[in-house]
Amino acid sequence: MSIDDYTHRHLLGIEGLYPHEITALLDRAEGYVAQNRRLDKKTPILAGRTMVNLFFENSTRTRTSFELAGKRLGIDVINMQSAGSSIAKGETLIDTAVTLNAMHLDVLVVRHQDSGAVKLLSDKVNCGVINAGDGQHEHPTQALLDALTIRRRRGHLDGLKVAICGDVLHSRVARSNIHLLTTMGAQVRVIGPRTLIPGGIDSLGVEVFHDMRDGLRGVDIIMMLRLQMERMDANYIPSIREFFHFFGLDQEKLALAKPDALIMHPGPMNRGVEIDSDVADHVERSVIREQVEMGVAVRMAVVEVLARNNVDAQGGK
Amino acid sequence: MAVRSTPSRVAYRNARVIDPASGLDAAPSSAGGLLTEGERVAAIGPEIFASGLPEGAQVIDCGGHVLAPGLVDIRVQLREPGEAHKESLKSAGRAAVAGGITSMVGLPNTNPVIDDEAAIEFVARRARQIGLAKCYAYGAATKRAEGKEISEMGLLARAGALAFTDGTKAVANAQVMRRALQYAATFGLMIVQHPEEPSLASGVMNAGELATRLGLAGIPRQAEIILLERDIRLVEMTGGRYHAAHISTSESVEIIRRAKDRGLPVTCDTAPPYFALNELAVNDYRTFAKLSPPLRSEDDREAIVAGLRDGVIDAIASDHAPQDTDSKRLPFAVAEFGGIGLETLLAVTLELVHKGELDLVSALRLVGWGPASLMGLEAGRLKVGAPADLVVFDAERPWRYDAKKSLSKSKNSPFDGRLLQGTVLRTVIDGRTVFHYDA
């Protein structure tokens, strides 16, 4: 599969992508994994191009990952945080888009707290837009890096049994992963208390479990989700103690999965809330650090393809 | 400024005269039609021009098209006073008459809230000066529409308030609703409810699969169902007159049906989006389709159509809710609720006729005599001696609605770009033509 198979101007979500498009991005990222392990990590194929990281929500790891990905491709990267910028002074999203557009960017990476906000912004700019997480909607590069991590460990995605556990309701990571994994032929289960499983999720092609022991039985992959502490105030769960007891991943529950099941987490982890420390640090089975490594490679592939497609879209400017 | 003289006599001939109040549906003829004298209807019938047209009368040939009572729209947000950048009584009046509406009732959620006599009188006075669609007002059911203390309903009614509602907000507290129903009943007044339990309605679209896909917080249908069920119990308890606005779910239709079967003083209306659209309209985060209550499933839409057909739903109102661009060009979750609807009320309602769901007389009753009689208005019917508020429309002529060209100050229509069938040719208020179709 060649990277030319991905012909879209943007990457706003996984929903709607075809298997060959996903495979094209993963194949390309695979090459960058090796490059990132070399002493000289830079191939300045995008020298002279510009990329802006526009983050309306605080983020360290995703922003750093995109920044590193851009720099290793030789693209000039600018970081914008909403705090302290004109956005915080009340500039509207559309005005921000129009302003940035006037600066002739090639790639715009956006994270926003509202679902659909990145799509709204992408309608107003000429550059390629990467959704780095919009509300509870999608976080496509996270799903791609998860897929790359799994593929490198297992060699394939189809036929694998994957359990996504915890706060599915508020998770864009869960949605993107569900779309990607079902598209690639994996069998996906979601596990969580009824308050944290959104209605109608079964129509996305997943099996729903409310008993984590049942849900984990025989799975190849366990994806834990971060539980946001503020959920407690809204009565989604009664306490951390109770949540961990029933839905936290510990050695005992882990034993129900396949003996070689991989443990994943998008980070940052709440140790002792959704995942026990000795599970998170499990030497053979936890791939949480690998996920972070794959993140840079995947983002390099996405930045590269969008920067290229953007040249085509602008008639080879 | 248009000259506001009322011609002394106007003869409308060659019209299919329909009066849903009496069931009249007369074929067009040159001998018959309708005659107005000054501001009032002077004669109606198939033979009134048989022995020639009245002397000195202005003659209007209706071209065989429908002549009916002007539409009565009982749920409009006028935005004046307070938010005149979104709509004014004048711009709403223009949009209304272009849609064949001759009377409308404004919700009290203006700034200030319409909860005293002066505010009621302000709206009435301004509307009279403007001379377009007649504007009436609801009074707030509670002071400042805060849902805590009941308003001065008796005095407000004396100043002209037709009924009482907190507009786009529900009267959520059961004890307050109980007292509002009881107190209103003292004066024979009606409480109009936005039936949505607020503690369940913190979302932004219909709960379900699509909300899950879009990552948007859902408003469960039960928010509407629960408040309706509760209110029906309070009606039972108090004997108060109750009207549920813009119902949107299949269960709501059943709840109202059962309440009516039990003889309770309960009525309801719905709005065109709830019988013409479903939740798929919000796909791609289309904020113009972000409405309150939210657009529901296709099954609900069908149940609302059935409720209109079998008479459980008493009226169709536009639910006109103007929002400026800045309130709608936002991420879906933070965009304002609401859509404009004055210009499309008739044509979207006529879709039900063209699809064979309703006959024309019934459809016109739902946008005329039905809502007028709920509000006790002398409107929505053709009657000798009554005000000559009329609409002439071509029920067949197609057009495409372009919201950018709306006469409303706001352009946020969920029907933008829709192909419609049924074109208003002329709107008459108190005997005077206030809108004329310009081909």
**What is the model's pLDDT at position B1?**
42
Provide the mean pLDDT of chain A.
93
- d(C-alpha A25, C-alpha A148), whole Å: 9
pLDDT digits (tens, 9 = 90+) for B378-404: 999 999 999 999 999 999 999 999 999
In chain B, whose CA is at the least distance from the CA of A137? B215
Give how far A285 is from chain B: nearest CA, Å. Answer: 31
Residue listed under structure tokens 């009320």: B345
More confident residue, A100 or B302: B302
- Amino acid identity, position A62: T
- Select from A114, A134, A203 the Cβ nearest to the Cβ of B334: A114
With 0-12 CB in 10 A as exposed, 13-18 as middle and 19+ as buried, what is B366?
buried
The C-alpha atoms of residue B95 and residue B71 are separated, in whole angstroms, by 13
Residues of chain A neighbouring B216 (CB-CB closer than 8 A): 115-116, 135-137
Q: Is the peptide bond before B293 cis (omega within 30 degrees of 0)?
A: yes
Is there a contact between A210 and A194 (Cβ–Cβ < 8 Å)? yes
- At residue B424, φ and ψ (nearest 5 deg) are -75, 125
What percent of chain A is predicted at pLDDT more than 70? 94
Residues contacting B136, CB < 8 A, separation 6+? B103, B104, B105, B106, B123, B124, B160, B162, B375, B377
Per-residue HEC secondary structure of chain B comes to CCCCCCCCEEEEECCEEEECCCCEEECCCCCCEEEEECCEEEEEECCCCCCCCCCCCEEEECCCCEEEECEEEEEECCCCCCCCCCCCHHHHHHHHHHCCEEEEEECCCCCCCCCCHHHHHHHHHHHHHHCCCEEEECEECEHHHCCCCECCHHHHHHHCCCCEECCCCCCCCHHHHHHHHHHHHHCCCEEEECCCCHHHCCCCEECCHHHHHHCCCEECCHHHHHHHHHHHHHHHHHCCEEEECCCCCHHHHHHHHHHHHCCCCEEEEECHHHHHCCHHHHHHHCHHHCCCCCCCCHHHHHHHHHHHHCCCCCEECCCECCCCHHHHCCCHHHCCCCECCCCCHHHHHHHHHHCCCCCHHHHHHHCCHHHHHHHCCCCCCCCCCCECCEEEEEEEEEEECCHHHCCCCCCCCCCCCCEEEEEEEEEEECCEEEEECCC
Model confidence band, residue A90 (pLDDT cutoffs 50, 70, 90): low
User: Could you read off the pLDDT of A131-185 as tens digits, one per residue?
Assistant: 999 999 999 999 999 999 999 999 999 999 999 999 999 999 999 999 999 999 9
Q: What is the pLDDT of residue A94?
A: 87
Look at B214 and A198 and tell me if their CB atoms are within 8 Å.
Answer: no
Cis peptide before B112 (omega within 30 of 0): yes
**B333–A204 CB contact, under 8 Å:** no
Interface probe for A, chosen from B202, B206, B214, B288 (most Cβ of A below 10 Å), is B214
Whether the pTM exceeds 0.90: the reply is: yes
Q: Do B331 and A115 touch (CB under 8 A)?
A: yes
Do A92 and B330 make contact, defined as CB atoms within 8 angstroms? yes
Pick the more confident residue, A60 or A32. Answer: A32
How high does pLDDT run on average in chain B? 95
Q: Are B241 and B190 in contact (CB under 8 A)?
A: yes
- What is the torsion angle, in degrees rounded to the nearest 10, for the CA atoms of residue B405, residue B407, residue B409 and residue B414? -60
The H or E element containing residue A121 is helix A117-122
Q: Which residue of A has its CA nearest to B334?
A: A114
- Measured between alpha carbons, how far is B427 from B417 in angstroms, rounded to an integer? 24
Does B319 qualify as catalytic in the annotation?
yes
Question: Quick one: closest CA in A to B333, which residue?
Answer: A114
Q: Looking at beta carbons, which residues of chain B come within 8 Å of A137?
A: 214-216
Contacts of A151 (CB under 8 A, 6+ apart): A26, A157
Question: Mind telling me how many Å the CA of A252 is from chain B's nearest CA?
Answer: 31
Mean pLDDT of A251-263: 97
pLDDT for A317 equals: 42
Summarised one tens digit per residue, pLDDT across range A270-307 is: 999 999 999 999 999 999 999 999 999 999 999 999 99
Tokens of A71: 């720099």
Name B199's Cβ contacts closer than 8 Å, sequence gap at least 6. B172
Pick the catalytic residue from B231, B269, B319, B416: B319
Based on C-alpha coordinates, what's the Rg of chain A? Answer: 19
Helix (H) or strand (E) holding A93: helix A93-101
Q: How far is CA B124 from CA A144, B60, B100, in A?
A: 61, 30, 20
Tokens of B145: 């529409």
Binary contact (A200, B326; C-beta < 8 A): no
ω into B81 cis (within 30 of 0):
yes
Query: Which of A114, A172, A199 lies at the smallest CB-CB distance from B333?
Result: A114
CB pair distance less than 8 Å for B216 and A198: no
- B108 vs B120: CA distance, rounded Å: 9
How many angstroms separate the CA atoms of A309 and B255, rounded? Answer: 55
Does the distance separating the beta carbons of B212 and A199 come in below 8 Å? yes
- Taking CA atoms, B398 is separated from A65, B349, B424, in Å, by 55, 14, 11
Give the model's pLDDT for residue A91: 73
Chain B nearest CA to A236, separation (Å): 14
CB pairs under 8 A between A and B: 69
- Chain B nearest CA to A136, separation (Å): 4
ipTM higher than the 0.95 cut: no
Interface of B with A (CB under 8 A): 207-218, 284-285, 326, 329-334
pLDDT for B4: 67
pLDDT band at A312 (very low <50, low <70, confident <90, very high): low
Q: Which residues of chain B have pLDDT under 50?
A: 1-2
- The answer to whether B283 and B295 are in contact (CB under 8 A) is no
- Interface of A to B at Cβ within 8 Å reads 15, 92-94, 112, 114-117, 119-120, 134-138, 172, 175, 198-201, 203-204
For B232-273, the pLDDT digits (tens) are: 999 999 999 999 999 999 999 999 999 999 999 999 999 999
Bridge partner residues of B33 (DSSP): B13, B45
